[in-house]
Amino acid sequence: MKALTYHRYGTPDVLSWSDVDQPIPGPHDVLVRVRAASLNQADLFMLTGTPRIARLAFGLRRPRATILGRDVAGTVEAAGAQVTRFRPGDEVFGEVEQRGFAEYVTAPAAHLAAKPAGVSFADAATLPVAATTALQSARLAGLGPDRTVLINGASGGVGTFAVQIARTLGATVTAVCSTRNAGLARELGAREVIDYTRDDLTGRYDAVIDLAGSRPLAEMRRLLTPRGVYVASTGTGGPLLGPAPRLLGVVLGGSRLRVLTSRRDVDDLTLLAGMVERGEVTPVVERTYPMAEAAAALWRLRDEHARGKIVLSP
Ligand SMILES: NC(=O)c1ccc[n+]([C@@H]2O[C@H](COP(=O)([O-])OP(=O)(O)OC[C@H]3O[C@@H](n4cnc5c(N)ncnc54)[C@H](OP(=O)(O)O)[C@@H]3O)[C@@H](O)[C@H]2O)c1
């Protein structure tokens, strides 16, 4: 089969669409024929090996996993002997442990959710990392009716879901993005938009969800009402330590400052797919690239100005 492989850290140019052995599912795994995948900032961290501290986990000198990609949707081709949830032909989606940007991938059945027939493979592939992060951030921020929330970084992969989920939960949303995305943020449900390229972040909010990590923590804190909650959900930071210094500040900042570390949750995936099926949330897909051209897609993501999600199709 073909897969998007890399054997050293670097720019998207180190990737190649090459022949590799098809994976064999273990007893608790399924083999999925990938029909769509989507990009996340985490793929760039893995590709470039930055922040450098993350190499402790990814592989010190070279990447341990040689195929990129976490978010997939596809069709079950084969199921291990112990798998009862799925059988060949079922349509599934979820977050895999790397190796997703390929024609086939194996994953524990417990990591995958059933894809509703009314949700396309491309839309399902946008959900695992980004929409789960948005949903879990909204929960950690305590969003609900009569709550106001400022979402910093509202027009990217996570942000476009966060705005829609916040609106669906009944919160009043102020979106922070650049000029060209202000209309999109309003269409997704933001009541107000702050253009960070021209204006300061102002106002007081019951919650701030920070996906951009672009402003000092003290400034973000001043945006909170007396009982307001700040949720840091950003991976942005320096080349050595990434977001770690900022997140340490959040952890030490008291109970109203919180760090979101999104976790894989099949119930959340099912919930999110239902929201998409009912039209409560519509994935924003900036563009779909053939998987063999993923390098161009990753260059696009690297400038941190993607509009919604970028999808890959094998
Ligand atoms: N906590 C977790 O578990 C978790 C999970 C997934 C992702 N993340 C993190 O969440 C962040 C967002 O991810 P993503 O996939 O949405 O990234 P993305 O698709 O690259 O989007 C980034 C967005 O940030 C906006 N932006 C850039 N500079 C900004 C600034 N100075 N002020 C405000 N907004 C700015 C951009 O908007 P414009 O184009 O309008 O400039 C863009 O839409 C990343 O740091 C990622 O690492 C965390």
Which domains are assigned to the chain?
A: 2-115+284-313 (3.90.180.10), 130-259 (3.40.50.720)
- What is the H or E stretch that residue 178 is in? none
**How far away, in angstroms, is 234 Cα from ligand 1 center?**
7
How far, in Å, CA of 249 to CA of 230, rounded? 12
Q: For residue 38, what are its two tokens? A: 């989507």
Q: What is the pLDDT of residues 280-310, one digit of tens each?
A: 999 999 999 999 999 999 999 988 788 999 9
Band (pLDDT 50/70/90 cuts) for residue 98 is: confident
Cβ–ligand 1 distance for 51 under 6 Å, the answer no
Cβ–ligand 1 distance for 285 under 6 Å, the answer no
Q: What is the pLDDT of residues 20-68, one digit of tens each?
A: 999 999 999 999 999 999 999 999 999 999 999 999 999 999 999 999 9
pLDDT of residue 25: 97
**pLDDT(13) > 90:** yes
Q: Are 35 and 75 in contact (CB under 8 A)?
A: yes
pLDDT of residue 303: 80
Cβ–ligand 1 distance for 235 under 6 Å, the answer yes
Chain position carrying tokens 């993607």: 306
Q: What is the pTM of this model?
A: 0.97
**pLDDT(220) > 90:** yes
Site to substitute for ligand 1 among 151, 155, 285, most atoms within 8 A of C-beta = 155
Q: Are 244 and 53 in contact (CB under 8 A)?
A: yes
Cβ–ligand 1 distance for 127 under 6 Å, the answer no
Q: Which residue minimizes the CA distance to atom 18 of ligand 1?
A: 156
The b-or-e profile of 98-133 (16+ CB within 10 A means b, else e) is bbbbbbbbbbbbebbbbbbeebbbbbbbbbbbbbbb
Q: Are 149 and 172 in contact (CB under 8 A)?
A: yes
The DSSP symbol for 180 reads G
Q: Which residue minimizes the CA distance to atom 1 of ligand 1?
A: 233
Cβ–ligand 1 distance for 262 under 6 Å, the answer yes
For 47-87, the DSSP string reads HHT-SGGGHHHH-SSS-S--B---EEEEEEEEE-TT--S--
Q: Give the residue-averaged pLDDT of 237-261.
A: 93
Q: Give the residue-averaged pLDDT of 134-156.
A: 97
**pLDDT(6) > 90:** yes
